Structure 1
């Protein structure tokens, strides 16, 4: 675990990075499943010199799939824990506007432009609000570090 002190923005954007990593791993898992389920063709015209049990490659593919699936489930658990921690910290600012903008941007992964529309406020106002909320977050939580 890295104990490097992070800015509020770096700390909060970890959720989106974790989410992206999980989605990429799920795509890889789907590819593994496809590869494990596809059957290779057999060339009967070639002379067979050595044989190996046909189930070995399938067994290995299934084992790798199951192991990777378990790893992804652990990543999802870490993501859920990190998300709950960040939500608690955002709510711990005890400022409804700050909480609203930080939640929309860092938990729901919305842009400031989308957040401003949903909040019914001008983009410039929400930009300034976001900046103030990040400053307040850093003042409130002075030991921000990597979550995983």
Structure 2
């Protein structure tokens, strides 16, 4: 009897973790094929707690797995006007709760400031493993980014 309860709870956990929703939203008027570059804004890389650096590295890797080439924000001025027209500013957020972890990566046109795309990854272990939740959400958002900006 005890074994069946544990199995049932495990099954519910597996179902719940597979029911997380990841999605991408793209502006109707956006031509995603024109974008070649991305620059992370307000990343505070050197001001975040050391234990979060692993997740920031994974977010940078997720963007690099797409066709977008990362540009340091201090070097944007070195880009030609044509290159700047192909640049997206990237802002990300991580929301961790007992229910799930959500990672959102937003892409904003550099010249107009207009949001172009938003990719979101979610994952949950129902609070059993917060680190696994964050890793799962990052993997999920990486997949969304790769699908939104596929390599050619």
TM-score (norm 1): 0.31
Higher strand share: 2
Q: Which one has the largest radius of gyration?
A: 1
TM-score (norm 2): 0.31
Higher helix share: 1
Q: Which structure exhibits the higher relative contact order, with contacts defined as CA atoms closer than 8 Å and separated by 6 or more residues?
A: 1
